[in-house]
Amino acid sequence: MKSRREVSSEDNAKELERILKSAEEGHYVLKLYVTGTSPRSTQAIENIHRLCEEYLAGRYDLEVIDIYQQPGQAVEQQIVAAPTLVKSEPSPPKRLIGDLSDRDRVLVGLNLAGTTTSSTKAKTKWVKL
């Protein structure tokens, strides 16, 4: 039987391996701030799900936060417009404001540029944090 210390060391080693593998593969941590079920919010959710599944399948965590239901999170993150996509990993962190319909601009912000072209007019804008 393994001691508590041995199990903890093994668990820590496995967690470190997971983190390193995630970093190598370019794991993305995204939060999408929306305002209820408005058309822009619904469109943003659909757009980011589609892009993530197409370009980041298995390599992303996406949390959708309704700022009407969780206003504290919006205040904490200084969200002033919605929808807003916040990319915290991989670095550098960025924010994208809009409905995420400008595919090229979203891909550039996610460092996935050069993978497609789009004729959609700009309805999104990346800003540095």
The per-residue pLDDT for 123 is 52
Residues of the chain where predicted confidence (pLDDT) is lower than 50: 2, 22, 115-122
Q: Does CATH place domain 28-128 in 3.30.420.40?
A: no
Q: Please report, to the nearest 10 degrees, the dihedral formed by the alpha carbons of residues 22, 59, 88, 24 taken in order.
A: 30
The per-residue pLDDT for 119 is 39
The per-residue pLDDT for 120 is 41
CA distances from 11 to 20, 25, 101 (A): 14, 21, 41
CB 72 within 8 A of CB 21: no
Rg (C-alpha) for the chain, rounded Å, is 17
The per-residue pLDDT for 39 is 94
Residue 65 β-bridge partners: 33
CA 62 – CA 85 distance, rounded (Å): 10
pTM: 0.70
pLDDT, tens only, 75-109: 999 999 999 999 999 988 999 999 999 999 999 98
